[in-house]
Amino acid sequence: MDAFEAIKATFFQECDELLADLEAKLLVLESGQTDSETINAVFRAVHSVKGGAGAFGLEALVRFAHVFETLLDELRAGRKPCDEITVRTLLRASDVLADHVAAAQGHAPEVDEARSAGLVAELETLTHGEGGAPVVEEEDDFGFTPLTIGLPSLDLPSLDLPSLDLPSLAAAPATGWRIVFRPHGRMYANANETGLLLRELGRLGPVTVSLDDSAVPSLEELIAEENELVWTIELAAAVDEVAVRDVFDFVESDCDLSIQPLGAGPADDLPALPDLGLPSLEAPAEAFDLSALLAAAQEPAIVKAVAPAPVEPTPVAAPAPAPVQAQAAPAQAAPTAPTAPAPATIRVDLDRVDRLINVVGELVIQQAMLAQRVAESGLTRSSGVLMGLEDLELLTREIQDSVMAIRAQPVKSVFQRMPRLVREVADMTGKRVRLVTAGEDTEVDKTVVERLAEPITHMLRNAIDHGLETPDERLAAGKAAEGAVRLAALHRSGRIVIEISDDGKGINRERVRGIAVSRGLIAEDAVLTDEEVDNLIFLPGFSTAETITDVSGRGVGMDVVKRSIQALGGRISISSVPGKGSTFTLSLPLTLAVLDGMVVGAAEQTLVAPLSNIVESLTPRAQDIHYVGGRDAVIRFREAFVPLVDVAQTMGFRDEPVTPGQGVALVVETESGQRAALMVDAIQGQRQVVIKSLETNYQQVPGVAAATILGDGRVALILDVDAIVANARRRPAAPELKLAS
């Protein structure tokens, strides 16, 4: 990849971040928080996308972003209300903007021109009103009048700016500011314009603008891509320097900038300014119209003019960066209050991180093998080899934790894609839907995050199409016309749990059962619990849709969700209350790479039980074990009885259960809070193991979550505790019985 393509790839990566931030801020506006800070953040996101697109010649993207940006400019200036209709239009505009970015990147087909043009018309109508003028960038919007001046035909030396002593940002606002601003050529290449910056300064208060053209060469030697013009702006307004610097936020790295207070007196009686050595604008003869020169240099024709009456300054979200030094003579930076520096980040290809993960995994296995060999050698614990090996184990663990932290990523990247999906499905179905998200900062392995998008997409579509009622049906049922869908993430028992819930009509179990019978999925006389009926929707080809639409009805959906979750070593459960809604719960491992586990033996087999599920280990006594119905064993544990499950017998390693008193019971707790005691022959120790997918390398096995390689090179199965306990609880036992006092 050449340098240009590398920069372009970086631009598209930044676009993804900007679009995500744009979506998040628009959702804040949708919630009713139409403060100026949020509107400014939305404007900056669109402006940044437009600026980068202009640098790469993405004309369609620039045109749409320009119209989008113009409306946002009206909103942040307070000339247009940020009402519900406007916010909904902005949300749809952000979707089309994302489509333009994807099309420019080559990840999607060309944007539907009719859809884009229709939205442009809506944006223009909101900006100018019905029958208003088309959106054009007003170069003279600031209110300046062009002035014809004379330019010398000879080359003059470059501008020499002496150092300026800048005031402390912590001081009280000055009564005015003197700004010396020299744009670089790359500022224009990034689609930024001086005229817009001057207009923003004018919104802070009255300004006087002067132009120094002394460094401009003759027309024969003029290079349009370069800039030799220097602007001097006197702002007569008692505003903070931070507010002034915020105007130059996007261009500060592409210009020479100096800001100095005018003085403490009133704006109309300003003290004399320090002599900067600027040549006089009273040029000699040989005058010509400056408009041609300004057009060539991409500068608006604005010279020596005064702005109209001031308007309220735009609030600033955060302090601007440190002052940019002038090119010829750097200005002395003013002391500022200490602020926490932003964390430095780098972009690394995911393949490199994956290779690092694999190498660290092999390091863990080799360290375990080395420990096994040393233990078999009979060395004492005080030997130098064993002590060094313990240090190696600690270092290996630290390396692995650090590498896993690199891969950790908030689920926000997936959650932020869903509001658009909800809007589109709501429009298709004619329903009013509000999406509520929680736990967006919950971190999980990047591999898990990437594979969450598809199942969550299917489940949200299902919740809107099948779960929520139409507005009329909801009103008739005494509910709000707008339905709510909640998407939440949280950590629980060393796993990540994703919940998708709705306040709709719930699962119609009679209808689900009838469809399953009619399609031959279950026998007509089958006796099923409510939970088993609910789970019929996960059968391949099952659908409750009466007609095939773009949303559902093709029999593809929930079975895909279940297979996707199982492929990640997870599980899915349903909780539904007729008339009140349904909740789908996805439970997934935090990472697909490592696991803290307890290594146990059962019928000469070595197994690993996830440490996050284990509550306690104990040696059962005969008097603590009882039988329900003469066959299902339960064990007394802390004033309650819990099921006693023989792991080796359940897994088919032997036919007879282990004799009580000759084994060890691991009291485990599932994600739903249910407890059971897993009976094994012995505990071999606790260690961190590298997870290997059993389904990928062999096939899915009930009761087994994955596999790992032990220190002696053998393969050990990792138990699926929830599946083993759930299978045991399907028997007609009566666990968790409270003892009589």
Coil/strand/helix, residue 670: coil
Looking at per-residue confidence, does 408 or 490 come out higher? 490
Say if residue 588's pLDDT is above 90.
Answer: no
> Buried (b) or exposed (e) across 483-500, using 16+ Cβ within 10 A?
bbbbbbbeeebebbbbbb
CATH pick for 594-729 out of 2.40.50.180, 2.40.10.120, 3.40.50.360, 3.30.2350.10: 2.40.50.180
Say if residue 592's pLDDT is above 90.
Answer: no
**Residue range 34-62, pLDDT digits in tens:** 888 889 889 988 988 888 888 788 888 88
**Residue range 596-653, pLDDT digits in tens:** 889 999 888 899 998 888 888 888 888 888 888 767 788 888 878 888 888 888 888 8
Say if residue 248's pLDDT is above 50.
Answer: yes
Show the tokens assigned to 157: 């030396």
Looking at per-residue confidence, does 130 or 64 come out higher? 64
- Looking at residue 333, its pLDDT comes to 38
Find out whether 709 and 615 touch, Cβ atoms under 8 Å. Answer: no
Return d(Cα 716, Cα 675) in angstroms, integer: 24
Q: In angstroms, what CA-CA distances link 492 with 243, 261, 671?
A: 45, 56, 7
Place of tokens 């953040």: 41
Q: Which CATH superfamily is domain 411-589 in?
A: Histidine kinase-like ATPase, C-terminal domain (3.30.565.10)
- Looking at residue 552, its pLDDT comes to 53
Coil/strand/helix, residue 110: coil
Find out whether 456 and 570 touch, Cβ atoms under 8 Å. Answer: no
| Residues above pLDDT 70, as percent of the chain | 77
Give the DSSP per-residue string, 349-382: -HHHHHHHHHHHHHHHHHHHHHHHHHHHTT--TT
Lowest model confidence (mean pLDDT) among 391-400, 648-657, 687-696:
687-696
* Burial class (CB within 10 angstroms; exposed 0-12, middle 13-18, buried 19+) of 16: middle
Q: pTM above 0.85? A: no
Give the DSSP per-residue string, 294-333: HHHTT--S--S-B--S--PPPP-SSPPPSPPPPSSSPPBP
pLDDT tier, 277 (very low <50, low <70, confident <90, very high otherwise): very low
pLDDT tier, 581 (very low <50, low <70, confident <90, very high otherwise): very high
| Fold match, 411-589 / 594-729 | no
Say if residue 463's pLDDT is above 60.
Answer: yes
CA angle 637, 639, 640 (to 5 degrees): 65
Span 263-276, mean pLDDT?
Answer: 42
Give the DSSP per-residue string, 423-458: HHHHHHHT--EEEEEE-TT-EEEHHHHHTTHHHHHH
CATH topology for 3-128? Four Helix Bundle (Hemerythrin (Met), subunit A) (1.20.120)
Show the tokens assigned to 310: 């001031």
- Looking at residue 474, its pLDDT comes to 92
Return d(Cα 595, Cα 599) in angstroms, integer: 11
The alpha carbon torsion through 166, 178, 78, 320 (nearest 10 deg) reads -20
Radius of gyration of the chain (CA): 34
Strands (DSSP E) found in 206-252:
207-212, 230-235
Domain map (residue ranges) of the chain: 3-128, 138-333, 350-409, 411-589, 594-729
| Residues above pLDDT 90, as percent of the chain | 9
The alpha carbon torsion through 546, 549, 553, 557 (nearest 10 deg) reads -150
> Buried (b) or exposed (e) across 715-740, using 16+ Cβ within 10 A?
ebbbbbbbbbbbebbeeebebeeeee
**Residue range 184-237, pLDDT digits in tens:** 887 877 777 888 888 888 888 888 888 888 888 877 777 766 778 888 999 888
119-123, 268-272, 595-599, range with greatest mean pLDDT: 119-123
- Looking at residue 732, its pLDDT comes to 45
Query: What separation, in Å, do the N-terminal and C-terminal C-alpha atoms of the chain show?
Result: 76
Average per-residue pLDDT in the chain? 76
pLDDT tier, 551 (very low <50, low <70, confident <90, very high otherwise): low
